């Protein structure tokens, strides 16, 4: 019997705001423990939350980018449960009226997106645990997918696409290592053709996108193997161990999850007006997929180039500025991909200057080899190509008469090579070419030298 | 001159004129407290040196410059404990000021002492304090009311010029009535709740307990106003409550709800209140019979909505970040032991009731239904205020009962809130003013107003007060 | 809603609320709260099918604040209130997942 997997992903994304969701403490990773806290995010007696407008805005922006329906009326609810990483032992979240509904990540549907506060971080020692509340109160977007995914690869695709979109919109940096994007999965298997879903298992503790793929691959196999043995799948929560490569049952939480949701009395609902929605809509950037397609069509670039360039917004912008004043967008792409990526921040060369360099090569003013020298100087100093070429006297010599003279000189000085060439050793032309370059102190246009040599050798 | 017997507005005049210094006023109070608080037991915490230091540093100019004010132990004052009369907050020192405290400080007030209360504001007698009871200054064998019993008692006993309390179901008005002083519950959203330890988030309000109506108007003017730290505070200008006090009340329509003169109430109390109403009529007002048909359901609604909200608000007391911790075998056990040891029985009862009302399978039948009936209660008031300007009722169905009389039957205790609770559910404002005595104990007249119409409520209260002498009565201690 | 006595399992509810009760409390509270629940059942007398619940006491929306920083509190002050603190963390009994 053939089985297929049904996967749903629940992703939590920390929003890239300056301050937390309900108080003015800074958001941030890696700060000294318990230094980004105040009575509000610590759940002190008597405190009250106040909503960060930017968090709402970014959530709506994400919703627009994922083509969700934005709720015109949205509210807040208390989700009640006790845990040491919960300052109030209730989490302010959204239950029945979230900010966004529907939408999709690539070809996979999503159910909803809502905004809630993040919990604190615990550290575990031998006989005790310690809690750092820096993270508590960070704005968190929860994105729930439809159970549309069918394979670990789907999950990988879902997460990379989601990350790419959210990063492009400035919604989040989605760095999983910093906890800015966290993913839990619900996995079940069923015989191919069966309409109803199998018993689903929740998988937690997947700390990278490839880790998600690995965990799902293991879990799907585990479930199929169990079913084939005649066992039933128990609805439970399992923990992925990336090192051991297995999922195992988590100590089932002793309390049943009766969250006792009720409307948050301390916070007022959010109504999104037409005007506000339009304003946010105008700030939706070109989505990465669309941008890649445009780069291919507009600049005639191969898909590979488009992918590389679009991956970083600053690089893409740089490319477009350079390509706008160049007749050779492919060459621009090549230069950026081979020479600028990886040290983009230190680059002093302006986009138009790169275009000028490419034009100088294409016109034969300088050789490809010299161009590398020029590029290095442009990168370090920000001087334009023409200035550097002039200062260093690097212009290639393309004057036919001068080149012919050197070619004849080289041929005369090395008759053996000429003879070798005539005898069928075509490689001898390279030696002669090298000699011409030497005579010209490297300034001869190598392409033209090659043509003239070929012509003269023919006649010799 | 018995300095401690002055109301705030008179003390302020003397301070302004230099007749009296803030230190003298503070010392007079401290002397009075030393003399009688052993009997009244209204104060939980007092730092005489700190108060005198504040007095010496007091500068003239603010609305309350140099005036000591007592604070109910449920409001955060930086550097002071805030126990909410609960063991679970033992050791907690507030690292911040509530907004109302910041406003008092800006007005130049001296923060003098913290007063007793029912634990986490849950109670109507101040018998549910972990620190012990407070006694009604008019009869030390009786309760002062609750939950702001300490604040009411110290004002009535001239141990404070004025005090702040909190009102969720009547906790300012009811003790004010039972102790013979003035107690005002502002409209929900009029005064910031930031820094008030939350009991029921959609019902709580901070308000003044004072010796007379002018003082209540004065204090309200200082603490009222929009607060960006409280999303439920309303961005509405604060009028000059003092300016309108003396405008008179001729022609105003006084609504008398028939549901508030119930067969079960004390006959003498009823007589005193009816006499007060006749007095209001004699001042030129028109009495209008009205009905608030859902009054009978108010207590039931309250004990579902308030306890539900409280069950969540009190979840934060878990021994992790502040307060008491009783170590258990693991984290869950630590929670259970800490909360079991730290909370008193009334608090536990209410948390259990509130948790139940929200729990799976019961939410619709209890919490949701109660919130719907709450809407009906609110609509009752809206309809009533179409035909009257204020609504007048007894504040309580009886006078102060004896210590221990109602503690064995929580439901009986709950029912004594019957007249005050609806105003919290509807969000209206209300004041209780002394209107006489029954069995030699104070009786309160409650005046309820439309949302944000404290001005009219205060005006009616002032007119009544100034043409009677109840507010000048003092208990003998 | 039916008129039967509500099923009130006090041990379960106390556990939801993380409250340890003594046996005496369990019995006493159970009886007292059964009384209260019987009393609040009077709300069933009313027809609320067309009534909206009061979610908020004041009809405000969009109460939002700008994404600006406010000073945090010094660590020493908050750890001073902690029942147990070490290594700049709030220490709790070991949390087992």
Using the beta-carbon criterion (under 8 Å), do A34 and C88 form an inter-chain contact? yes
C44 belongs to a structural domain:
yes
Identify the H or E element spanning C75: helix C75-81
Q: Are residues A379 and A431 located together in one domain of the fold?
A: no
The reply to whether B228 and B307 lie within a common domain is: no
In which band, very low, low, confident or very high, does the pLDDT at C2 lie, cut at 50, 70 and 90? Answer: very low
Total structural domains within chain A = 3
* Count of all residues that appear for chain C in the document: 97
pLDDT for res A254: 47
Considering the domain architecture, whether residues A371 and A414 belong to the same structural domain is answered as: no
Contact C19 B376 (CB under 8 A): no
For residue B338, what are the domain limits? 296-372
**For the segment B107-165, what is each residue's pLDDT rounded down to a tens digit?**
999 999 999 999 999 999 999 999 999 999 999 999 999 999 999 999 999 999 999 99
Looking at the 3D structure of chain B, how many domains does it have? 2
Q: Among all residues of chain C, which has the CA nearest to that of A259? A: C16
Is C24 near chain B, with CB under 8 Å?
Answer: no
Neighbours of chain C (3+ CB pairs under 8 A): A, B
Q: Indicate the residue among A277, A303, A333 that finishes a domain.
A: A277
Domain boundary among A277, A307, A339: A277
The answer to whether the Cβ–Cβ distance between C93 and A128 falls below 8 Å is yes
What is the tally of structural domains in chain C? Answer: 1
Q: What is the CATH number of the domain that holds B9?
A: 3.90.1300.10
Question: Which tokens in the block code for residue B363?
Answer: 């939410």
Alpha helix stretches (DSSP H) within B314-439: 331-342, 345-358, 369-384, 410-415, 421-426
Q: Which of C20, C52, C62, C67 to mutate to test the interface with A (most CBs of A within 10 A)?
A: C67
**Is residue A209, in this structure, part of any structural domain at all?**
yes
Q: How many CB pairs under 8 A join A and B?
A: 94
Per the structure, the complete domain to which residue A203 belongs is given by 3-277
Of B231, B324, B370, the CB nearest to C63: B231
Nearest residue of C to residue A272 by CA position? C62
> Which structure tokens are listed for C18?
């993380």
If asked whether residues B38 and B143 sit together in one domain, one would say yes
Q: Are residue B347 and residue B202 in the same domain, yes or no?
A: no
Backbone angles phi, psi at C34, to 5 degrees: -60, -40
Whether the per-residue pLDDT at A385 is higher than 70: the answer is yes
Nearest by CB to A46, which of B197, B315, B358? B197
Cα–Cα distance, B424 to B431 (Å, whole number):
12
Question: Is A340 part of any domain?
Answer: yes
pLDDT tens-place string over residues A99-123: 999 999 999 999 999 999 999 999 9
CA distances (Å), A319 to each of A139, A182, A305, A306, B380, in order? 34, 32, 11, 10, 68
Catalytic status, residue B147: yes
Q: Report the distance separating Cα A323 and Cα A326, nearest Å.
A: 5
Q: Answer yes or no: is C37 within a domain.
A: yes
Report the residue of C19, C65, C66, C79 to disrupt the A interface, i.e. the one with the largest count of A CBs within 10 Å. C65
Domain boundary pick from A236, A253, A277: A277
Q: A109 and A77 in one domain? A: yes
Per-residue pLDDT at C76 exceeds 60? yes
The pLDDT of residue B347: 97
Residues 6+ apart with CB under 8 A from B57: none
| Option in B95, B228, B358 nearest A262 (CB) | B358
Residue to substitute from C11, C79, C88, C97, interface A, most A β-carbons within 10 A: C97
Q: Which residues of B touch A82 (CB under 8 A)?
A: 315, 318, 332, 335
Task: Confirm whether pTM is higher than 0.80.
Answer: yes
CA B315 vs. chain centroid, Å, equals 24
User: For residue B262, is it within any domain?
Assistant: no
CA angle C23, C27, C28 (to 5 degrees): 115
Please report whether residue A21 resides in a domain: yes
Contacting residues of A for B230, CB less than 8 Å apart: 48, 50
CA separation for the pair A70, B461 (Å, rounded): 50
Collect all residues of chain C within an 8 Å Cβ-Cβ radius of residue A36. Answer: 72
Nearest-by-Cβ selection for B352 from C1, C13, C55: C13
Full domain range(s) for residue C41: 1-48
Share of chain A above pLDDT 90, in %: 75
Among residues B354, B372, B390, which one ends one of the domains? B372
Residue A447: pLDDT over 90: no
Tell me what pLDDT residue A252 has. Answer: 61
**Residue B471 near residue B465, CB atoms below 8 Å:** yes
DSSP B13-82: HHHHTTSS-HHHHHHHHHHHHHHHHHHH--EEE--HHHHHHHHHH--TTSTTTT-EEEEETTB--TTSB-
Task: Assess whether B103 and B191 both reside in one domain.
Answer: yes
Q: C86 — contact with chain B (CB < 8 Å)? A: no
Catalytic position from the list B129, B147, B311, B422: B147
In a domain, C1, yes or no: yes
Which of A142, A201, A133, A160 is CA-nearest to residue A12? A142
Averaged pLDDT, B346-356? 97
Q: Which of A180-194, A274-288, A383-397, B389-403 comes out lowest in average pLDDT?
A: A383-397
* The predicted structure's pLDDT at residue A251: 64
pLDDT tier at A442, thresholds 50, 70, 90: confident
For B250-268, the DSSP string reads TTPEEEEEGGGS-TTS-HH
Nearest to C72 among A36, A125, A271 (CB): A36
- A253 pLDDT above the threshold of 70: no
For range B35-45, the mean pLDDT: 98
- What is the CA angle A31-A35-A38, rounded to 5? 135
Determine whether the interchain pair C95/A84 forms a contact, defined as Cβ–Cβ distance below 8 Å. Answer: yes
Mutate to test the interface with C, among B93, B303, B355, B423 (most CBs of C within 10 A): B355
Pair B80, B175 in one domain: yes
Residue A67 shares a structural domain with residue A135 = yes
Nearest to A37 among C55, C58, C73 (CB): C73
Q: Output DSSP code: residue C53.
A: -
A260: which chain B residues are within 8 Å (Cβ-Cβ)? Answer: 312, 355, 358-360, 363
| B125 tagged catalytic | no
Q: Which segment of A16-30, A411-425, B356-370 scores lowest on mean pLDDT?
A: A411-425
Lowest mean pLDDT across A187-201, A418-432, B71-85, B461-475: A418-432
Q: Are residues B204 and B334 in the same domain?
A: no
- Give B331-334 contacts, CB < 8 A, sequence gap 24+: B331/A84, B331/A129, B331/C92, B331/C93, B331/C94, B331/C95, B332/A82, B332/A254, B332/A255, B332/C18, B333/C93, B334/C92, B334/C93
Q: Are residues A410 and A386 located together in one domain of the fold?
A: no
B18/B79 same-domain check: yes
pLDDT of C1 reads 45
Q: So what's the pLDDT on residue C97?
A: 63
Q: Which pLDDT band, with edges at 50, 70 and 90, does B408 fall under?
A: confident
Q: What is the mean pLDDT of residues B451-467?
A: 98
pLDDT beyond 60 at C6: no
Question: Of B213, B235, B215, B214, nearest to B224 (Cα)?
Answer: B235
Residue B185 shares a structural domain with residue B308: no
- Residue A282 lies inside a defined structural domain of this protein: no
B160 and B307 belong to one structural domain: no
Could you tell me if B92 lies within 8 Å of chain A, comparing CB atoms? Answer: yes
Instruction: Answer whether residue A41 is part of any domain.
Output: yes
Residue A443 has pLDDT above 90, yes or no: no
pLDDT at residue A394 is higher than 80: no
Mean pLDDT of the region A137-161: 97
Give the CATH number, domain containing residue A448.
Answer: 1.10.10.410
Q: Would you call B314 an interface residue with chain A, using a CB distance cutoff of 8 Å?
A: no
Q: Are residues B313 and B231 in the same domain?
A: no
pLDDT of residue C5: 53
Q: Is the peptide bond before B444 cis (omega within 30 degrees of 0)?
A: no
- Residues 6 or more apart whose Cβ sits within 8 Å of residue B442: B138, B156, B177, B178, B179, B180, B399, B400, B434, B436, B470, B473
Is A48 a domain residue? yes
Residue C59 in any domain: the answer is no
Tell whether B342 is covered by a domain: yes
- The chain-wide mean pLDDT, for chain B, equals 96
Is C53 a member of any domain? no
């Amino acid at each position: 019997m053939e089985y297929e997997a049904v996967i749903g992903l629940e992703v939590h994304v920390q929003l890239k705001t300056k301050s937390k969701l309900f108080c003015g403490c800074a958001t941030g990773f890696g700060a000294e423990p318990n230094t980004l806290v105040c009575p509000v995010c610590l759940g002190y007696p008597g405190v009250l939350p106040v909503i960060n407008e930017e968090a709402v805005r970014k959530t709506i922006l994400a919703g627009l980018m994922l083509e969700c329906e934005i709720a015109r009326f949205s509210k807040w609810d208390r989700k009640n449960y006790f845990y040491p990483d919960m300052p109030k032992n209730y989490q302010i979240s959204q239950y029945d009226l979230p900010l966004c509904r529907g939408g999709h990540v690539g070809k996979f549907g999503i159910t909803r997106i809502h905004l809630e506060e993040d919990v604190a971080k615990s550290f575990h020692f031998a006989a005790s645990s310690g809690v750092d509340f820096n993270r508590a109160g960070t704005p968190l977007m929860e994105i729930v997918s439809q159970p549309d995914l069918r394979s670990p690869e789907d999950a990988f695709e879902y997460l990379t696409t989601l990350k790419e979109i959210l990063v492009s919109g400035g919604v989040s940096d989605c760095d999983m290592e910093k906890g800015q994007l966290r993913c839990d999965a619900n996995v079940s298997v069923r015989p191919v053709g069966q309409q109803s879903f199998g018993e689903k298992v929740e998988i937690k503790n997947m700390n990278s996108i490839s880790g998600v793929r690995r965990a799902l691959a293991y879990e799907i196999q585990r479930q199929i193997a169990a079913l084939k043995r005649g066992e039933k799948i128990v609805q439970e929560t399992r923990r992925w161990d990336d090192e051991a490569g297995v999922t195992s049952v988590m100590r089932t939480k002793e309390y049943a999850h009766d969250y006792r949701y009720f409307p948050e009395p301390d916070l007022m609902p959010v109504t999104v007006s037409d005007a506000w929605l339009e304003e946010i809509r105008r700030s939706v950037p070109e989505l990465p997929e669309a941008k890649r397609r445009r780069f291919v069509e507009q600049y005639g670039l191969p898909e590979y180039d488009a992918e590389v360039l679009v991956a970083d917004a600053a690089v893409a912008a740089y490319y477009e500025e350079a390509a706008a004043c160049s007749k050779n967008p492919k060459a621009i792409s090549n230069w950026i991909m081979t020479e600028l990526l990886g040290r983009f921040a230190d680059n002093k060369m302006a986009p138009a200057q790169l275009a000028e360099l490419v034009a100088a090569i294409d016109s034969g003013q300088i050789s490809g080899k010299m161009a590398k020298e020029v590029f290095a100087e442009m990168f370090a100093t920000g001087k334009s190509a023409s200035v550097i070429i002039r200062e260093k006297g690097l212009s290639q010599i393309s004057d036919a008469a001068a080149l012919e003279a050197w070619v004849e000189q080289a041929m005369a000085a090395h008759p053996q090579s000429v003879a070798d060439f005539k005898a069928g050793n075509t490689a001898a032309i390279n030696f002669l070419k090298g000699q011409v370059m030497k005579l010209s102190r490297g300034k001869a246009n190598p392409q033209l030298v090659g043509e003239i040599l070929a012509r003269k050798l023919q006649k010799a | 001159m018995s300095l401690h017997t002055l109301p705030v507005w008179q003390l302020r005049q003397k301070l302004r004129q230099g007749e009296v210094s803030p230190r003298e006023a503070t010392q007079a109070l401290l002397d009075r407290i030393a003399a009688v608080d052993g009997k009244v037991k209204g104060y939980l915490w007092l730092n005489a040196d700190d108060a005198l230091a504040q007095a010496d540093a007091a500068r003239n100019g603010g609305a309350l410059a140099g005036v000591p004010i007592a604070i109910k132990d449920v409001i955060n004052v930086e550097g002071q404990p805030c126990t909410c009369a609960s063991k679970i907050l033992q050791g907690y020192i507030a690292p911040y000021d509530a907004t109302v405290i910041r406003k008092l400080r800006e007005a130049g007030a001296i923060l003098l002492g913290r007063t007793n209360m029912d634990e986490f504001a849950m109670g109507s007698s101040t018998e549910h304090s972990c620190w012990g009871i407070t006694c009604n200054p008019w009869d030390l064998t009786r309760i002062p009311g609750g939950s702001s019993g300490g604040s009411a008692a110290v004002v009535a006993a001239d141990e404070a010029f004025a005090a702040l309390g909190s009102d969720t179901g009547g906790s300012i008005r009811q003790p004010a009535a039972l102790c013979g002083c003035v107690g005002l519950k502002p409209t929900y959203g009029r005064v910031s709740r930031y820094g008030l330890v939350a009991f029921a988030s959609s019902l709580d309000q901070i308000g003044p307990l004072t010796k007379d109506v002018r003082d209540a108007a004065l204090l309200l003017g200082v603490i009222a106003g929009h607060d960006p730290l409280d999303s439920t505070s309303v961005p509405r200008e604060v009028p000059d409550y003092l300016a309108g006090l003396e405008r008179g009340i001729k022609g105003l329509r006084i609504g008398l709800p028939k549901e508030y003169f119930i067969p079960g109430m004390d006959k003498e109390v009823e007589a005193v209140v009816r006499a007060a109403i006749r007095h209001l009529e004699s001042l030129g007002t028109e009495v209008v019979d009205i009905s608030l048909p859902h009054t009978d359901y108010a207590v039931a609604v309250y004990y579902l909505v308030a306890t539900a909200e409280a069950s969540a608000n009190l979840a934060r007391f878990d021994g992790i970040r502040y307060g008491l911790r009783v170590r258990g075998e693991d984290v869950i056990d630590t929670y259970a032991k800490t909360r079991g040891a730290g909370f008193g029985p009334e608090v536990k009862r209410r948390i259990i009731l509130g948790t139940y009302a929200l729990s799976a399978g019961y939410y619709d039948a209890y919490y949701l239904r109660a919130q719907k009936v709450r809407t009906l209660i609110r609509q009752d008031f809206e309809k009533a205020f179409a035909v009257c300007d204020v609504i007048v009722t007894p504040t309580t169905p009886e006078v102060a009962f004896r210590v221990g009389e109602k503690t064995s039957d929580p439901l009986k205790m709950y029912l004594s809130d019957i007249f005050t609770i609806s105003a919290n559910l509807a969000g209206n404002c209300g004041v209780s003013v002394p209107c006489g005595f029954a069995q030699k104990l104070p009786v309160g007249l409650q005046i309820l107003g439309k949302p944000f119409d404290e001005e009219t409520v205060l005006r009616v209260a002032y007119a009544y007060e100034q043409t009677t002498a109840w507010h000048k009565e003092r208990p003998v201690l | 809603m039916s008129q039967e006595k509500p099923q009130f399992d006090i041990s379960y509810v106390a556990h939801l609320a993380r409250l340890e009760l003594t046996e005496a409390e369990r019995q006493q509270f159970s009886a007292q709260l059964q009384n209260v629940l019987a009393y609040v059942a009077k709300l069933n007398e009313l027809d609320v099918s067309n009534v909206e619940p009061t979610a908020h006491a004041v009809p405000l929306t969009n109460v939002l604040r700008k994404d600006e920083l406010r000073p945090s509190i010094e660590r020493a002050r908050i750890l001073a209130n902690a029942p147990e603190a070490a290594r700049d963390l709030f220490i709790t009994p070991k949390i087992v997942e």
